[in-house]
A = this chain, B = another copy of it.
Amino acid sequence: MKKVTMADVAKKAGVSKSTVSQFLNKRFEYMSVETREKIAKAIEQLGYKPNYLARSLKQKRTSMIGIIVANIVHHFSTEVSRAIEDFFIEHDIHAILCNADNDPKKERRYIEMLQAKQVDGLIIFPTEQNLDLYKNLVESGYPVVFMDRKVDDVNIPSVKVNNSEATEAIIQHFIEYGHERISIVTQPLTISTRIERVNGYRKAIKENEMELNEDFIIRAETKDINSQLKLLFAKKNPPTALIAGNDLVFLEILEFAKENGLKIGIDFSLAVFDNIPFAHLVTPAVTTIAQPSYEMGEKAAQMLLSLIEKENSELQDVVYNCQLLIRDSSRIVRTK
């Protein structure tokens, strides 16, 4: 794999390296047409491709950014990442996607690796467990934007949704349809997003003067959700409506229902956080609390770019509203 360098092109064209460099950077103003053509021909013949690596080293800019998602299996992460990648490709910036797998150690490793690779900036779905590291990033002035989650006491701008309000809204919806026992099912409360949702849950229950039953708040790893649901539904007064924290939880609920012969929309109502691509196609169609993932990704990308280009060093958090998409799975009216 013989590499052809600028020097080779220069020799072939009978000019100096700098002239070739000029050519590549399209500074034709002071270049004779002949030289220009000679160089073009030489490049063509040799099949020369500039080495971005060397250029990056010199320019101290790699035109690469890193995305660290908490859990790549989560559909929301995928959508957001896609948006970020799309945005940056328009600016000739490549994204490297890393999956921290909800593991703070992996997150740390990736952050350090990406910095070593000199990426120009980072968009992180933080595990929220590496405070010192986040603070280091801020101090060293590294361009970073947080996604989906917020970390207190760290001055990094974040893009997220109004989790609390969205949860209140879906509960309001359930109440209007006559539900009196509503349960929320989520993964462990290690991150702000889930905490906010449970806070919204508590608030809504309280404000509606309903009984707050702690057993109705399931916070468990996905692998344990099925058994927890079994316990919940074995109670004398099981819930009549469930709120699923994300698409992964939703699949667990589906599995639970299937195994236990419960029909969604009949035996219990259901609403799910996240965009489920097939939500409107299954029977019954599933009510979702959709996050504007594409806009969120785009926004974060914009913010990061402005940080990279130093246009703006003091960015505000951005909070999006969720959209409640009512479908059949939550439309049953409960008459006690």
Residues of A within 8 A of B (CB): 1-3, 47, 49-54, 56-57, 60, 62, 64, 72, 78, 82, 85, 94-99, 112-113, 115-118, 136, 140-142, 251, 254-255, 258, 277-278, 281-283
Contacts and interface: CB of A to CB of B under 8 A. Distances in A.
A258 B136 CA distance: 53
Given A51-B118, A52-B118, A56-B53, A85 B99 contact: yes
A254 B279 CA distance: 11
A62 B53 contact: yes
12 contacts: A1-B140, A1-B142, A2-B140, A49-B116, A53-B56, A53-B62, A82-B99, A85-B99, A94-B113, A94-B117, A258-B281, A282-B283
A138 B282 CA distance: 46
A99 B95 CA distance: 11
Secondary structure call for the A interface? mixed
Nearest to A116: B52
Given A1-B142, A49-B115, A85-B99, A251 B281 contact: yes
A176 to B, nearest CB: 26
A179 to B, nearest CB: 24
A54 B117 CA distance: 9
Among A3, A50, A117: residue with most chain B CB under 10 A: A117
Contacts of A118: 51-53
Given A82-B72, A251-B277, A254-B278, A52 B94 contact: no
Closest 7 CB pairs of A and B: A1-B141, A254-B281, A52-B116, A53-B118, A52-B117, A53-B57, A49-B116
Contacts of A112: 49
Contacts of A94: 96, 98, 113, 117
Contacts of A251: 277-278, 281
A295 B47 CA distance: 36
Contacts of A82: 72, 99
Contacts of A117: 52-53, 64, 94
A100 to B, nearest CB: 11
Contact of A136 (B47, B56, B78, B142): B47
Nearest to A3: B60
A16 to B, nearest CB: 21
